[in-house]
Amino acid sequence: MRFAVDTGGTFTDLVIEDSKGKLHIFKSPTTPNNPVKGILSAFDKASEYFSISTFDLLSKGEFLLHGTTRATNAIVTSGTAKTAFLTTLGHPDILVLREGGRTDPFNFSVPFPQPYIPRSLTFEVTERISAQGKIITPLSKNSLQKVISFIKKKEIESIAVCLLWSTVNPIHEKRIGKILDIELPKIPFTLSHELNPVLREYRRASSTCIDASLKPLMTEYILNLQDNLKERGFQGRMLMLTSKGGVMDYKEIAEAPIHTVGSGPAMAPIAGRYFAKIDSKSSTAIIADTGGTTYDVSLVRNGEIPMTPETWLGEKYQGNILGFSSVDVKSIGAGGGSIAWVDEGGLLHVGPKSAGANPGPACYGKGGIFPTVTDACLILGYIDADYFLGGKMKLDFSKARKSINEHICKPLKIKLNEGAKAILHLATENMVSAIEEITVHQGIDPRNSVLIGGGGAAGLNSVAIARRLGCKELIIPETGSVLSATGAIMSELHADFRALFFTSSNNFDFKGAQRTLKKLKIKAEKFIKGTAESHLDYKIEFWVEARYKSQVWEIDLPITKNLLKTKQSVEKFRKDFDKSHENIFAFSDPNSPIEFIGWRSTVNCKIRSRPIGKIKEHKFSKSHISKQRKAFFDKKGLLQVQVIKLEDIMKNHTVKGPAIIESPFTTIVLDIGSKAIRTNRASLKINF
Partner 1 sequence: MKIRNEKKINIKKFDPLTLAVLSKRFEAVTSKMANTLLRTGRSGVLNLARDFSTSIITNDCFLLTGAESLPIHHLSGADLMAKSLLEMHPKLKRGDAFLHNSPYHGCSHPADHTILVPVIDEKGKHHFTVWVKAHQADCGNGQPTTYMGHARDVYEEGALIFPPTKVQENFKDIEDIIRLCRMRIRVPEQWHGDYLAMIGAARIGEREIIEISKEYGWKTLHKFTDEWFNYSEKRMISAIKKLPTGSSQAKSTHDPVPGTPKNGIEVKVKVKIDSKNAMIDVDLKDNPDVMPCGLNLSEGCARTGAMIGIFNSIQDSVPTNAGSFRRIRVHIREGCVVGGGKHPVSMSVATTNLADRVTNPVQRAFSKIKDGIGLAECGAIFPASMGVVSGLDPRNNNEPFVNHLFLMVTGGAAAAKTDSWLTILHAGNSGMCFVDSIELDELHFPILVKTRKLVSDSEGAGRTIGSPSGYCEYSPIGGGDIEVAYVSDGAFNPAKGTLGGLHGAASKNYLLKKNGQKEKLPACADIILKDGETIASYCTGGGGYGYPWDRPVEKVQKDVIEKWISRRRAKEIYGVVLNNKFEIDFIKTEKNRKKLSLKKH
SS3 call for 681: coil
Residue 680 interacts with partner 1 (CB under 8 A): yes or no:
no
CA dihedral 24, 29, 32, 35 (to 10 degrees): -30
Determine which helix (DSSP H) or strand (DSSP E) holds 578, and give its type and residue range: helix 567-585
Q: Between residues 470 and 558, which has the closer beta carbon with respect to partner 1?
A: 470
Q: Check binding of 231 to partner 1 (CB under 8 A).
A: no
The footprint of partner 1 on residues 538-557 (CB under 8 A) is 548-553
Stretch that binds partner 1, among 212-220, 235-243, 443-451, 631-639 (CB under 8 A): 443-451
Among 43, 165, 274, 370, binds partner 1 (CB under 8 A): 165
The answer to whether residue 595 forms part of the interface with partner 1 (CB under 8 A) is no
Sign of the Cα torsion 492, 312, 354, 461 reads negative
Q: Is 369 in the site for partner 1 (CB under 8 A)?
A: no
Q: C-alpha angle 445/450/452, rounded to 5°?
A: 125
Residue 316 binds partner 1 (CB under 8 A): no
Contact status, residue 601 vs residue 607, Cβ threshold 8 Å: no
Element spanning 33, H or E: none
CB-nearer residue toward partner 1: 97 or 522: 97
Q: Under 8 Å CB-to-CB from 133, ≥6 apart: which residues?
A: 165, 168, 169
* Binding string, residues 560-589; x marks residues near partner 1 by CB under 8 A: ---------------------x--xxxx-x
Helix (H, G, I), strand (E, B) or coil at 245: coil
Q: Please say which residue, 149 or 442, places its beta carbon nearer to partner 1.
A: 442
The smaller minimum CB distance to partner 1, of residues 415 and 575, is found at 575
Residue 315 in contact with partner 1, rule: CB under 8 A: no
- Region of 392-400, 442-450, 601-609, 662-670 interacting with partner 1 (CB under 8 A): 442-450
Q: Does 189 bind partner 1 (CB under 8 A)?
A: no
Instruction: Kindly give, in sequence order, each residue whose CB lies less than 8 Å from that of residue 120, ignoring residues fewer than 6 positions away.
Output: none
Q: Are 335 and 69 in contact (CB under 8 A)?
A: no
Nearer to partner 1 (CB atom), residue 105 or residue 346: 105
| 3-class DSSP assignment, residue 679 | coil
> Does the footprint of partner 1 cover residue 104 (CB under 8 A)?
yes
Q: Is residue 387 a contact point for partner 1 (CB under 8 A)?
A: no
Cβ burial, residue 44 (10 Å; 0-12/13-18/19+): middle
Among 45, 91, 353, 624, binds partner 1 (CB under 8 A): 91
Nearer residue to partner 1 within complex by CB, 19 or 120: 120
Among 13, 201, 289, 492, binds partner 1 (CB under 8 A): 201
Question: Measured between alpha carbons, how far is 295 from 435 in angstroms, rounded to an integer?
Answer: 10
Kindly state whether residue 345 participates in binding partner 1, applying the rule CB under 8 A.
Answer: no
Percent helix, strand, coil in the chain, to 5, is 35, 25, 35
Residue 19 is a binding residue for partner 1 (CB under 8 A): no
- Nearest approach in angstroms of CB 323 to partner 1 is 13
Going by DSSP bridges, is the β-strand pair 63-68/237-241 parallel, antiparallel, or unpaired?
parallel
504 lies in the site for partner 1, by CB under 8 A:
no
Tell me: does residue 102 bind partner 1 (CB under 8 A). Answer: yes
Question: What is the number of other CB atoms lying within 10 angstroms of the CB of residue 312?
Answer: 14
* CA angle 537–542–546, rounded 5-degree value: 155
Q: Is 199 in the site for partner 1 (CB under 8 A)?
A: yes
* In contact, 325 and 305? CB cutoff 8 Å: no
Q: Which is nearer to partner 1, 33 or 585 (CB)?
A: 585
- Residue placing its CB nearer to partner 1 in the complex, 124 or 194: 124
Only segment of 44-52, 339-347, 437-445, 646-654 that touches partner 1 (CB under 8 A): 437-445
Burial 440-464 (b: 16+ CB within 10 A, else e): eeeebebeebbbbbbbbbbbbbbbb
66 binds partner 1 (CB under 8 A): no
**Does 120 participate in binding partner 1 (rule CB under 8 A)?**
yes
Q: Considering only 62-70, 108-116, 143-151, 638-646, which stretch makes contact with partner 1 by CB under 8 A? A: 108-116
In angstroms, rounded to a whole number, what is the distance separating the alpha carbons of residues 114 and 96?
A: 7
| Strand 654-656 versus strand 637-645 pairing type | unpaired
**How many residues sit close enough to partner 1 to count as binding (CB under 8 A)?**
56
Residue 107 interacts with partner 1 (CB under 8 A): yes or no: yes
Give exposure, 577-592, as e/b (b: 16+ Cβ within 10 Å). Answer: bbeebeeeeeebeeeb
- With contact defined as beta carbons under 8 Å apart, do 191 and 158 qualify? no
Quote the least distance from Cβ 685 to partner 1, whole Å: 23
Q: Residue 508 Cβ, how far from partner 1 at the closest point, in Å?
A: 17
Does 100 bind partner 1 (CB under 8 A)? Our answer is yes
Smallest distance from partner 1 to CB 167, Å: 8
Nearer to partner 1, 504 or 654 (CB): 504
Q: What is the DSSP letter of 155?
A: T
The binding track of 459-488 with respect to partner 1, each residue x by CB under 8 A or -, is -----------x------------------
Q: Output 2 or 98, the one with its CB closest to partner 1.
A: 98
Among 224, 235, 398, 442, indicate the residue that binds partner 1 (CB under 8 A): 442
Q: Is residue 93 part of the contact set for partner 1 (CB under 8 A)?
A: yes
d(CA 457, CA 289): 9
Binding mask 135-154 for partner 1 (x = CB under 8 A): -x------------------
Report if residue 92 touches partner 1, rule: CB under 8 A.
yes
Say if CB 475 and CB 450 are below 8 A apart.
yes
Q: Least distance (Å) from partner 1 to the CB of residue 436?
A: 8
Question: In angstroms, rounded to a whole number, what is the distance separating the alpha carbons of residues 354 and 373?
Answer: 10
Q: Where are the alpha helices (DSSP H) in 98-244?
A: 141-153, 171-183, 192-195, 201-231
Answer for which of 202, 397, 501, 620 binds partner 1 (CB under 8 A) is: 202
List residues near partner 1 by CB under 8 A. 90-93, 96-112, 118-120, 128, 130-132, 136, 164-165, 199-202, 436, 440-443, 445, 447, 470, 548-553, 581, 584-587, 589, 592
